[in-house]
Amino acid sequence: MRSVAVLSSCLILAVSVLVGCGRGDMPELGDVYGKVTLDGKPVPNINILFTPESGRAAGGVTDDEGNYELKYLEGYSGSKVGPAKVTFEWSPGVEPTAAIPAKYMQEGFSVEVKEGSNELNFPMESK
């Protein structure tokens, strides 16, 4: 009988630890999606990274039409609410599909992620 009580206590403790590590420890996130273009044409297969002033970055990859949707963690979409720097990079081994100017790749854009839904498009120009 005592082993059942010990086992029950251990199970309750394990569940408490798992619940404590859930969404409650996450920062407030805003859903972020949009389109990346260069000279009006979609930029496929490029990584887009939103880096907040503090905390974890969120990222995504554009599809064939240049559309992206950010992921914060597996199972969590969006980016931390607040100011963020947006940069782009090609994945290792991926052939670049466009000649993105260095100012976009390195300096990027400054954005403000708000609560709720955020459509943030990045129309880049080669000149």
Residue with tokens 């709720």: 116
pLDDT at 127: 83
The more confidently predicted of residues 13 and 65 is 65
By the 8 A CB rule, do 122 and 80 touch? no
**Which tens digit of pLDDT belongs to each residue from 48-57?**
999 999 999 9
Which CATH superfamily includes the segment(s) 27-124? Immunoglobulins (2.60.40.10)
| 118: nearest Cα among 74, 75, 86, 73 | 86
Token pair for residue 104?
A: 């976009």
**Which tens digit of pLDDT belongs to each residue from 63-96?**
999 999 999 999 999 999 999 999 999 988 888 9
Q: What does pTM read for this prediction?
A: 0.78
Domain layout of the chain by residue ranges = 27-124
Average pLDDT in the chain: 84
By the 8 A CB rule, do 64 and 93 touch? no
Helix residue ranges, H only, 21-119: 102
